[in-house]
Amino acid sequence: MNSVATVESEQEKLLEVGSYLHRVSPSIAELQSNPNPPPVLAQILQSLSTNVNNAKDLVAKCSRIAQFDPDEYMRSIIENLQKVIVAIGDDLSKIPASSFEDNKYASTALNSLAQEMQSTQLYRNSSLFSEVQSMPDSVMMRDPRLGDFIPRESSYRGADHVEPLYDSFFCPITKKIMIDPATIESGITYEKSVILELFEKQETASEPLTCPVTGMKMESKNLNTNVALKATISEWVLRTEITRIKVAGNELIKGDMVYDAIQELKSLSMIRKKNIDQMHRTGVTKILTKYLESIDVTIRCETLELLFTLIQDEEGKEIMGKTKAIQAAAKLISSSNSTEKSLALSFLQEATKSEFLGRMVGHTNGALLMLVTTKVNQSTDLEAASKASVILKNMEKRAKNMMYMALNGYLDPLLTNLVEGTEEMQMEMVGYLSELAQKQDICFTVAHETHACEALIHMVRTKATPTGVTTTESEASAVTVETKKSAVRKAAFDVLVSISSHKSNAISLIDAGVVPVMVEELFLRTPGDGNPFPPKISASGVLANLLESEPDIDPDIIQVNKNGHKLSSRYTMYNLAHMLRNSMPEQLNINVVRILLSLSAKPKPLTSIVAVARETEMVQTVIELLDATSEELSVAAVKLLAVLCPHIGNTIADRLCNDQGRQRNLVNRLGPGRIKEKHAEWSKFLAKLPHQNMTFNLYLLRQGAIPVVVNRIHEILHGVSGSCKLSRFAKLYMEGLVGIMVRFTTTMYDLEIMAAVMENHLMHVFNELMVRHTYCEEVQGLACSGIMNLGSLSINLSKPLEEQKQPVKRKGFLNKVLSKTTQKELVMKVMVLCPVHRGVCSVNGTFCIIEAGSVERLLNCLENENEKVVVGALGALSTLLEDKVDVEKGIQIIHERDGVHRVLRVLREHKDESICYKAFWIIERCLLRGSEEVVKVISANRVLPGRLVTAFHSGDGDMRKVADNILRRLHHIPDHSRSFASMEM
């Protein structure tokens, strides 16, 4: 520590030498400016100049050799410096007073300086050099630190103090460094304002003016600014501040005392602009930016505050642009510390005044998103929201930033310029919107920007006229203009396609008049008008998006042209049907089919579509689209055919059967492997076609439909490898497959179909599907319907025991139908009779629901909330109560399983008429043919009478009839038929 202190003392002495030289230089300059100098003055000035140069050379030598040979040679130089300083003092003392003419204060100041220099002692004892020589290289080589100029008792934050070695810089009264030094008559220099104040007090007190230091009486209070000393102090202060900046910068580089160093720099930056420039030049500004990533939030806040000051000028902004300060500050917007967040926003607010830095903010990941979020959340932090708004406003200077803002959900600047900007700006904005629309599906909410919609529609209506070969400059210019118009038109179409897919924009677009413009583009413009297919594709896409995104749109009131045609009219449907053909681009066909599908959801447009389908070749065209290379188009075509099935299903079925080129494709389209949308929609479509169409059923059967369907169901139910049980289309696919099986059960009078149903064990499949809850309830309902259809055949297929004893002599109906397996099964059950069907029954041979164990499962289905499941289960149970079977036994089987209670419970849970009718029918049969116990259960039910009365008053003919019969059985209304019978007896 002693060695370090000694080195610091040497540096102080060197600074003292420098101070003397700075103070001498102005004095020499003042003397040289005298127009009438005494003769002796020239000789003195020459000597002064020589000595000053010698001193400077010695100081330079000292700087060069200090780190290499700080021993005897250094001592020699210091001794020579002392001699030179004393010599300069001697020269100054020889200057005659007449050289200063009337400026006796300057003469006094120079004499004071001469005396000070003559008494200078720079000599050091020899022990210094041995101590310095023993110091490590790290100390000898280091740059001057701020601590070298600060008294040992002061702290780092007291760096604005200076060492007390420069006594001439200090005012004798205030003991502070003088700003405006002035010399009085006694030759002593004071702070001008202080000495003047003292003189005024002496005059007020009627005391003689005296020098506070010497006590000398003053004849006047006149004083003169000590220009030389003032310049010296000013220069010293500047050099000291520069040194302080360097020292603080070194501390930042080393990472030591970072907080104190930043505080020091903050105080220096507020003193004068030159210090900020110095920080820029010395690299302090760049060094500071790394502390924005400090783990200490206090350091980050202090750094932001200082950087905010440093970025005020253009040089600071340029430096920031070469660092990661912008990115680091942008990350701090999301800080949970409100102070840090506010400082980061203030910094970015100043930074974004530069277009270059604003671009950097736009390119920083997440910055715009955070700014937009901060702007929107005004209720959370109003000040932060205000700053974020200013930042975003600053960034609007660059058009590209508006696209980034839109990408992050802030569309206002872009839409404003789209509507109010110049033509060039509008073209640029719509180009950005188009670019964003193509990059990703962005919800451009323009629900409250009707003018933006109108601007886009206006751009779309701009016609790009075709031009021929250009030969003149004007024609070339015209082509350029037309090219721009085409580009703008395409971009506007892209934007309309994008924004039309969101429900919030649909009404605004319709109100702005987009529908007639799109219809005109579709129906009236042709490629010959200079408008090829792409605009038609976009126009159809806009219409399809609008209809899909806003189902509540009423096509009956939307006008498509000036002739009064509506969106739901036959005019629209005929034109749409005319556009459907293989020669058209697939995307155009997709969009047209989407339009037709959306319109078919409304009654009036559906009527128009069906009428057009009957009058044109639309059905055949859609069937041809099934083989399109685009899977999307193929799926859309299937969906449209499925919509038309309830109205012209037989026509569609006949066209499919007669289309020779597609015979083998109907079943193959069900596909193996992973279930896709096309497989699900196709299976659903095949299930929807009229079930009673025997031609179509046989057509499917002969293509192997039943085995394929059963195998696919088995794969899905049992998780066989290769199936797509987890596919999102699995439920729809399964529903279609089961529907296809049900369709075959409706035409069992055909022997070929019956044999296929028996061989593929459809009864077992339906039975298993009833208890599978993995799939939609629609599947369970279909399974119940299939069991009902098969169960209704049991009474005809089940034969008495006598007929079963000689199966070889039977040549009738059953011999043609039953397989060898079925016949063997019947022989094995020769001793067992079905109680309901009064013959030998089996699951596959007679489809008996009792043998299949379906009764309990059907009764369980009655507890389902889905109406289709309940209807199917009631229908299947009804097969046990038909006239040809043993009704009493059927009722008993149902009652033993608590079936009567369950049927009555259905009436309490469901209001659907079809359910009520089937339940009433079963109850009527139970009252008519059931045991007393069954009748008692029905009579005790409290819900039944009310439901019967409601059905009797408001039901249709069949419902009223069955309700009337039950009420009579329960004696709730008179039974006149019994009365008449009694009278006859």
- Which one has a higher pLDDT value, 451 or 250? 250
Average pLDDT score over residue span 628-642: 93
Q: Give the pLDDT of residue 151.
A: 35
Confidence label for 99 from pLDDT (cuts 50, 70 and 90): low
Confidence label for 808 from pLDDT (cuts 50, 70 and 90): very low
Whether 810 is in a domain gets the answer: no
In this predicted model, what pLDDT tens digit does every residue of 60-76 receive, in sequence order? 666 555 444 445 556 66
Average pLDDT score over residue span 951-968: 85
209 and 95, same domain (yes or no): no
pLDDT at 222 over 90: no
Is residue 24 within 8 Å of 48, Cβ to Cβ? Answer: yes
Could you tell me the CATH number of the domain that includes residue 871? 1.25.10.10
Domain, as residue range, for 930 = 832-972
Using the 3D structure, point to which of 89, 119, 149 is the last residue of a domain. Answer: 119
> Average per-residue pLDDT in the chain?
80
Whether 459 is in a domain gets the answer: no
Burial class from Cβ neighbours inside 10 Å (0-12, 13-18, 19+) for residue 369 reads middle
4 and 108, same domain (yes or no): yes
pLDDT at 150 over 50: no
Q: Give the pLDDT of residue 762.
A: 94
Average pLDDT score over residue span 821-848: 73
Average pLDDT score over residue span 99-103: 60
Residue 520: in which H helix or E strand, if any? helix 514-523
Nearest to 535 by CA among 588, 613, 470, 478: 588
Q: Give the pLDDT of residue 814.
A: 46
- Which one has a higher pLDDT value, 659 or 219? 219
Is residue 181 within 8 Å of 190, Cβ to Cβ? Answer: yes
Q: Give the pLDDT of residue 105.
A: 46
pLDDT at 39 over 80: no
- Which one has a higher pLDDT value, 436 or 917? 917
Whether 393 is in a domain gets the answer: no
Q: Give the pLDDT of residue 701.
A: 94
95 and 190, same domain (yes or no): no
Percent of the chain at pLDDT exceeding 70: 75
Whether 729 is in a domain gets the answer: no
Is residue 681 within 8 Å of 732, Cβ to Cβ? Answer: yes
pLDDT at 38 over 60: yes
143-147, 184-188, 605-609 — which is least confidently predicted? 143-147
Lateral strand order in the sheet of 181-183: 189-191, 181-183, 224-225
What beta strand segments (E) does 706-774 contain?
none
Average pLDDT score over residue span 433-456: 70
User: 463 - beta bridge partners?
Assistant: none
What the block records as the tokens of 12 is 């102080």
Using the 3D structure, point to which of 602, 629, 664 is the last residue of a domain. Answer: 664
Q: What's the residue count for the chain? A: 985
Using the 3D structure, point to which of 633, 664, 695 is the last residue of a domain. Answer: 664
Q: Give the pLDDT of residue 429.
A: 85
Domain count, the chain: 4
User: 181 - beta bridge partners?
Assistant: 191
Could you tell me the CATH number of the domain that includes residue 205? 3.30.40.10
Is residue 506 within 8 Å of 550, Cβ to Cβ? Answer: yes
Q: State the chain's maximal CA–CA distance in angstroms.
A: 175
Whether 586 is in a domain gets the answer: yes
Is residue 890 within 8 Å of 878, Cβ to Cβ? Answer: no
Nearest to 820 by CA among 755, 749, 767: 755
Whether 94 is in a domain gets the answer: yes
529 and 632, same domain (yes or no): yes
Confidence label for 315 from pLDDT (cuts 50, 70 and 90): very high
In this predicted model, what pLDDT tens digit does every residue of 389-413 receive, in sequence order? 999 998 888 888 888 888 787 878 8
In this predicted model, what pLDDT tens digit does every residue of 225-248 receive, in sequence order? 888 888 888 888 888 888 899 999
In this predicted model, what pLDDT tens digit does every residue of 3-29 receive, in sequence order? 444 444 455 555 556 656 655 655 565
Average pLDDT score over residue span 939-968: 86
Distance of alpha carbon 726 from its chain centroid, rounded?
28
Gap between the Cα atoms of 710 and 763, Å rounded: 11
Could you tell me the CATH number of the domain that includes residue 9? 1.20.140
196 and 75, same domain (yes or no): no
**Apex 459 CA angle, 458 and 463, nearest 5:** 100
64 and 181, same domain (yes or no): no
90 and 28, same domain (yes or no): yes
Percent of the chain at pLDDT exceeding 90: 35
pLDDT at 710 over 90: yes
Whether 291 is in a domain gets the answer: no
Whether 84 is in a domain gets the answer: yes
